[in-house]
Amino acid sequence: MLIRLAVPGLGDAEVSAASAVLRSGMLVQGAEVARFEALVAARTGRKHAIAVANGTTALELGLAALGVGPGDEVLVPDLTWPSPAHAVVRAGATPVLVDVDLREWNTTPAAFAAARTARTKVAIAIDQFGMPSRVAEVAAALPGVAVLEDAACAIGSVRGDGTPAGSAPSLLATLSFHPRKVVTTGEGGMLVTDDDALADALRIARNHGQRTPGEFASAGPNARLSEVAGAIGRVQMERLDGMLTARRALAQRLRAALPMLTFQASPAHADSNVQTLGALLPEGTTTAQRDAFLVACRAREVEVGKLSYALHRLPPLAQYAPTGEAGYPHSSALVDRGVALPLWHDMDDATADRAADAVRSALSEIV
């Protein structure tokens, strides 16, 4: 049977919570979304959490609340899913794509600082694949620039200084609850902050621009999360610690079984939630060999994916990378040689071992 890349960890408790909402007749703006928000606020050490439809909408609303618009530049790591850069374009501003670190796969404070101009309004620090970015150092390197932490992948991750991903000193952080994430509600997202004014603006923005029911303050979208999703998210948050323990142990088992691969490095003392177990194939592996490796894994009934995207190569974003390939040696190398290995929290050890065996055998076929 095919070993999948990811399997959402939904069980009987989520099914019961969702069906209770369906039977209640209260499908939007009820207690479950509020309970989910309270759990995420507590977990990220924040005063406010505002649930929205998905992680991309969270970024769009976050940038709008920070006042990003035409004429502004926003710094965005080059290695990621395109949402953060697309959100900047959709705000009418200019994304400035910044290369990432070859070891930690996040953008460094120095690289962010070097890309800053007089027009830089926001820097988006991404906790890529759940690995906490160095948010405090990024904030210190960019005085006067708001740091928006894209913690889409990072619920439950802990930074090197012991603070949770998504917490201060980023001004605002966004999360995603897509099925590939550690906590999922199907589609879902959230913004977290300690800033009262930002939180007020975001609550208004997600709800048709209404300050109170019927009192319209702005031409806002409907970006609310449904009660069914809220109930699933509430149960997932209650199970988060168990899911993290299992996930981290399985990731360690896979890393130990695959010493010929290079894994994402962690800042000292940081503890990723391992949302994605990314790995680089041995030095010298070509992109064609990497692709052959993916096919060879599939032939062994193991789903292995490409690692991610180098945004400067994507047609809607290439115009924001005037230096082309030359400006992004690290993200280019990572996407060309990178893969995502199967991992989910209730994968059993035998499945992890079978996946590692298949990876080893596929590798020997291509190199």
Residues near ligand PLP (CB under 6 A): 54-56, 80-81, 83-84, 126, 150, 152-153, 176, 178, 189
Instruction: Give the dihedral of Cα atoms 42, 43, 46, 49; nearest 10 deg.
Output: -80
Spatial distance between the Cα atoms of 93 and 87, rounded to a whole number of angstroms: 9
- Judge whether 82 and 70 are in contact, CB under 8 Å: no
Question: DSSP states of 232-257 as a string?
Answer: HHHHHHHTHHHHHHHHHHHHHHHHHH
190/231 with CB nearer ligand PLP: 190
36/363 with CB nearer ligand PLP: 36
93/359 with CB nearer ligand PLP: 93
58/254 with CB nearer ligand PLP: 58
Please state the closest distance from residue 65 (CB atom) to ligand PLP, in A: 16
Please state the closest distance from residue 237 (CB atom) to ligand PLP, in A: 16
Query: Which single residue brings its beta carbon nearest to ligand PLP?
Result: 55
- Only one residue has tokens 């596929």, namely 362
190/359 with CB nearer ligand PLP: 190
Please state the closest distance from residue 1 (CB atom) to ligand PLP, in A: 27
- Judge whether 230 and 223 are in contact, CB under 8 Å: no
Please state the closest distance from residue 187 (CB atom) to ligand PLP, in A: 6
Please state the closest distance from residue 183 (CB atom) to ligand PLP, in A: 11
Phi–psi pair at 152, nearest 5 degrees: -50, -40
Q: Which of 95, 98, 86, 78 is nearest to 56 (CA)?
A: 86
Please state the closest distance from residue 271 (CB atom) to ligand PLP, in A: 19
Question: DSSP states of 314-360 as a string?
Answer: STTTGGG-TTGGGG-HHHHHHHHHEEEE---TT--HHHHHHHHHHHH
* Secondary structure letter of residue 159 according to DSSP: -
176/272 with CB nearer ligand PLP: 176
